[in-house]
Structure 1
Amino acid sequence: MADKFAIVTGASTGIGFELASLAAENGYDLLVVADEGLIEAAARDFRLHGVQVDALQADLSTTEGVDILLAATSGRRIDVLCANAGRGLGHGFLDQGLADWRRVIDTNITGTLYLLQQVLKGMVARDDGKVLITGSIAGFIPGSFQAVYNGTKAFVDSFADALRNEIKEAKGVTVTTLMPGPVETEFFERADMLDTSVGASKSKSDPADVARDGWTAMMNGDAHIVSGWKNKIQAAVAHVTPAGILAEQHRKMAQPGSAPSDDGGPR
């Protein structure tokens, strides 16, 4: 058993998988969590680094799922938390079912906040610990045809800034927000957005690069990291562009059927 312990949520694929790999490479024992059975296969990969890895399949959109995660720590001191679990949802809001958009909110906000609250209490009490929250530059942009998801990320980005200020007296505890743009993961397939311009784009970020940026920023105690120079520019522009213009730009990326067809035009 290592003397360092990390929790990574949403660790079965994508950014979470890469974050867990970095934690294992750096000698952290792991509790990795996802809402799918693939987390067991991911854990086998992480164990190749010679650390102890416990895998847990749990629904982190529920407080019950978060409680199951917390119980799985067996009271062990948590040195690092990568709160990465998230869910997307495409199409127009009026076409979305209540259960679908509620699950996005419960995963991205409710479950994430409950987990952060429970873990940070211990970190602040002992004045030691590092947290990485996966936000998004989507939080800066009104997300036409992805409105609920972008809204949750706006909440997460803002919440992390407020939380960081609230616990600033705990000098040994850091909260870092990782804010990527579109990343080459299963996100767009799961959000039913493969027929959109952004979903079909070949210029998405590599999840390994995004995770490395986030891990480095967390270890440095940085407040935020926008991963990728193109996303840094987009984030800066979003701060000075009227919301109506940003919403129209997002519409062109996320509206169903906006992906180019074989002849180069929209579908």
Structure 2
Amino acid sequence: MNTTNTDIAVSTKDRNRAARPLAIVTGASSGIGFELAKRCAAEGFDLLVAADDPRIQEAARALGQAGGSVEAVEVDLATPEGVDRLLAAVKDRPIDALLANAGHGLGRAFLEQDWDEIRHVIDTNVTGTVYLLHKVGREMAGRGHGRILITGSIAGFMPGTYQAVYNGTKAFIDMFSYALRAEVQGRGVTVTCLMPGPTETEFFERADLMDTKVGQDKKDDPAEVAENGFKAMMAGDSGVVSGWQNKLQVALAKILPETVMAGQHAKQAAPGTGDKA
């Protein structure tokens, strides 16, 4: 059989592609997720990025400038069907890193919130995330290799007055990540929890929190948060709270009564507090 120069070039390209590790990054259309994907691309990962936002295609084009393969999937990860669609795009490639970052917030008092919006936050932050972790974690453990980074939040350490559903979901995710890490110890898989505080992303606008104190206060840089999370994942650390002020807040949450923390959270997240001096 004759082998042309084109055949050789294609074969070399396929081998190089196969030699690159693959990272899945969810919630990658903007904010922390986009910055995590950028960090992965810079370190030589091929990318499969996902979000429920059509801008994921634009994000993928920007990420592709770092070299390597970037494939985007616009999908709602609140549903098992959405997670299955994402994983179908992996085909037969091994997954070297999963950065489970997709999540939604929801502000205002629980009894005033729309039930469908409540359900979507729970399904995105908990149900869809856990289903994705179950599917990918099994593949990684069976192969004996893989890194998982789960985006939790310092919100998981405190009662979220006027963000009760969001904080509750993050409390689940924070604790779940540490439990999963212990279960896969010795199986070649590491699990790291990234716990940011308020970060300069679209989160607060989408969660209807722009008229709150926390919505209007200065926030952390998403690139810095992503850098901290990526480094922790690559080092195999159990978790990282990004930012010294957030570390202090977590420390206080562990010693102050929950009723005190609930009152403090209300001052930050109650509607209209952002207009006060």
TM-score, length-normalised on structure 2? 0.93
Match of 2:90 among 50, 73, 79: 73
Pairs within 5 Å for 1:239-258: 239-258=254-273
Structure 2 counterpart SS, 1:82: strand
Match of 2:146 among 96, 107, 129: 129
Q: Aligned pairs, how many?
A: 260
1:156 equivalent to 2:142? Answer: no
1:28 equivalent to 2:45? Answer: yes
- Structure 2: distance between partners of 1:167 and 1:131: 11
1:57 equivalent to 2:74? Answer: yes
Partner residue in 2 for 1:200: 216
Match of 2:36 among 19, 22, 41: 19
Pairs within 5 Å for 1:199-238: 199-202=215-218, 204-238=219-253
Amino acid at match of 1:186: E
Amino acid at match of 2:134: Q
Amino acid at match of 1:192: D
Offset at 1:162? 1.0
- Structure 2: distance between partners of 1:223 and 1:213: 13
Superposed CA offset, 1:158-203 (max 9, x none): 1111111111131x2100000000000000000000000000112x
Superposed CA offset, 1:25-65 (max 9, x none): 11110000000100000001110011100011000000000
Amino acid at match of 2:38: S
Bigger Rg, structure 1 or 2: 2
Amino acid at match of 1:126: R
Match of 2:199 among 183, 201, 204: 183
1:168 equivalent to 2:177? Answer: no
5+ residue gaps, structure 1: none
1:102 equivalent to 2:142? Answer: no
Amino acid at match of 2:196: P
Partner residue in 2 for 1:259: 274
Superposed CA offset, 1:104-123 (max 9, x none): 00000000000000001111
Structure 1 counterpart SS, 2:255: coil
Structure 2 counterpart SS, 1:48: helix
**RMSD between superposed Cα atoms in Å:** 0.7
- Structure 2: distance between partners of 1:75 and 1:250: 46
- Structure 1: distance between partners of 2:183 and 2:244: 30
Offset at 1:128? 0.6
- Structure 1: distance between partners of 2:112 and 2:33: 30
Amino acid at match of 1:73: V
Superposed CA offset, 1:224-264 (max 9, x none): 10000100111111100100000000000000000035xx3
Which 4+ stretches in 1 moved above 3 angstroms?
Answer: none
Structure 2 counterpart SS, 1:225: strand
Identical residues among aligned pairs (%): 58
1:146 equivalent to 2:163? Answer: yes
Structure 2 counterpart SS, 1:115: helix
Amino acid at match of 1:260: D
Which protein is richer in helix relative to its size?
A: 2
TM-score, length-normalised on structure 1? 0.96
- Structure 2: distance between partners of 1:7 and 1:219: 14
